[in-house]
Amino acid sequence: MTTLAKPPTSDDTAIAEPRLRSAIRHVVTTAWLFPSAALLIGLFIIPTCYAVYLGFTNLELLGQYAQNYNFTGLANLQRMIHDPTFWLSVKLTLIFVIGSGVIAQTVLGLALALLGQRVNVIARSSVGAIVILAWVLPEITVAFVWYSFSQAGGTLSHLFGVPNSDLLSTVPMLVVCMANAWRGTAFSMLLLSAGLRNVPREVDEAAQLEGAGYWRRLFTVTLPIIRPTLMINLLLITLATISDFTLIFAMTQGGPGNQTAILPVYMYIEAFQFNQLGYGTTIALTLVLIGAILSIAYIRQLRPELQDSTS
C-alpha cells in the first residue's frame, strides 16, 4: 500500500504564508524586546538576586569579612529576630508610614481637596500652589526647614506654647512625622482633587434631593466613588514613605538614641556605620518584603474596581 503525498493546493499556500509572516513577526518582536530584557536582567534582576544572596552572608564594609565573606544561611535572619533595635525600628517605621503617610497625608490631602471644591478658582489655585511648593521642595530642604522650625525658640515651639522646648529632642518622632506629612500632603491633594472631579454632579445632587446631609453624602456617595483613587493614593504614599531616608537622617540621624531610626535609617547605620553590609542587606530585604505585602494588600482591595472596569 502506498500513500501518495497530497500535492499542495493554493489554499495551503494561502494558509502557510500568513503563518510564516507571523513567525517572522514573532522573531522580530522578540529581537526588539531583547535590549529592554537585557537591561532589565542586567540592571534589575541580577543585582536584586545578588542583593538577596548578600543578605545571607556575613559581608562587611570593613573588617575581617570585607574581602573573604561567607554564606551564613539564616544567621542574619536569626540575628534580626533577636535584635530589639530591629523590632523598635519596625515599630517606628509603621508609626511613620501609618501616622505621617496613610493617615495624616490622606486626611489632610482629602480635606484640602474637598475644601478646594467649595471655594473659587483663585483661592483654590493659590492654596494649591502653596501646598505644592512644599512637595516640590527638595527633601533635604524640607529637613532643614523643619529642623529650624522645631528648635527651641523655633516657630513650632512657639505655636505649641513651649518656646524653650526642643521639640525635635523631646518628641522627635512626632516632629519627623509632621515634617513628612507637611511635605507629602500636596501629592494626596492633587490626586484626590482629580478623583473628586470625576464624581458625577448628578449623583451628589440626587443624594441631596433625598435629604442626605454633607457628611452623609461624603461617606456614602463621594468616598465610595473615589475609592480606587484613594487606594492608589495610599499605595503610592506607603511605598514612598516606607523607603524614606533623607528627611529623617538629615533631621536626627536616627536619634536621639534610636528614637527615629526607621528601617531605612537603621539599615544605613548597620551597613555604613557599623560596617555590617550583609546584615544591612537583610534589613533592606525585609523592608522590600514589608512594602510588597502592603502593596499586595492594597491591590487586593482594588481588585473589585479593576474587575468592574474590565467586565
Partner 1 sequence: MKHFKRFAVPAVGAALLVTTAACSGSPAGSGSGSSGSGTVTVLYSNNYVFNSDALATQWWKGIAKQWKAKYPHTKLVLQGTGGTDIDLMNKAAILFRSPSTTPDVIQLPTTYVAQFAGSSYLEPLNSFVHSSKAASFWPTMPAGVQNMSTIDGNVYSVNAGNNNTGLLYNKAMLTRAGVKMPWKPTNWQQILQVAAKVKAADPGVWPLWVAAGVAAGPTNVLQGSGNLIFGSSNTTMFDTKTKKWVVDSSGIRATLEFYQKMFKQGLGAPTSQLFRADAVGQPPLLLKQGKLAIAIGSNWYPSVWASPKSAAPWAAAKTAVGSAPFPTQNGQTPGAASTLGGWAYAVSKASKNVQGAEDFIALASSPANQLTTAVWSGFVPPSTPVGEKPLFINFAPPFQADFNTYAKYGVALPNNVNFPVYARALNTVTGDFAQNPNASMSAELARLSSLVSQQLGSGSVETLP
What is the footprint of partner 1 within residues 110-149 (CB under 8 A)? none
- Confirm or reject binding of residue 7 to partner 1 (CB under 8 A): no
Size of the site for partner 1 (CB under 8 A): 30
User: Residue 248 CB: number of other CB atoms within 10 A?
Assistant: 26
Q: Which of 34, 160, 214, 272 binds partner 1 (CB under 8 A)?
A: 272
Rounded Cα–Cα distance for residues 205 and 202 (Å):
5
* Residues 250 and 36 sit within 8 Å (Cβ to Cβ): no
Nearer CB in complex with partner 1: 135/245:
245
**CB of 288: closest distance to partner 1 in angstroms?**
21
The residue range among 47-55, 64-72, 205-213, 236-244 that interacts with partner 1, by the rule CB under 8 A, is 64-72
**CB of 64: closest distance to partner 1 in angstroms?**
6
The residue range among 17-25, 92-100, 173-181, 268-276 that interacts with partner 1, by the rule CB under 8 A, is 268-276
The residue range among 38-46, 92-100, 207-215, 272-280 that interacts with partner 1, by the rule CB under 8 A, is 272-280
Rounded Cα–Cα distance for residues 255 and 267 (Å):
14
**CB of 45: closest distance to partner 1 in angstroms?**
22
Nearer CB in complex with partner 1: 106/252:
252
User: Residue 18 CB: number of other CB atoms within 10 A?
Assistant: 10
- Confirm or reject binding of residue 66 to partner 1 (CB under 8 A): yes
Nearer CB in complex with partner 1: 258/295:
258
- Confirm or reject binding of residue 253 to partner 1 (CB under 8 A): yes
The residue range among 24-32, 185-193, 195-203, 267-275 that interacts with partner 1, by the rule CB under 8 A, is 267-275
Q: Which of 51, 102, 132, 152 binds partner 1 (CB under 8 A)?
A: 152
Locate 69 and state its grid cell.
565573606
Nearer CB in complex with partner 1: 187/279:
279
What is the footprint of partner 1 within residues 273-302 (CB under 8 A)? 273-276
Locate 21 and state its grid cell.
509572516
- Confirm or reject binding of residue 311 to partner 1 (CB under 8 A): no
Locate 88 and state its grid cell.
523598635
The residue range among 8-16, 38-46, 224-232, 246-254 that interacts with partner 1, by the rule CB under 8 A, is 246-254
**CB of 155: closest distance to partner 1 in angstroms?**
14
Residue with cell 506629612: 181
Rounded Cα–Cα distance for residues 266 and 280 (Å):
8
What is the footprint of partner 1 within residues 20-39 (CB under 8 A)? none
Nearer CB in complex with partner 1: 72/151:
151
Question: Which residues form the interface with partner 1 (CB under 8 A)?
Answer: 60-64, 66-67, 83-85, 151-152, 166, 168-170, 250, 252-258, 269, 272-276
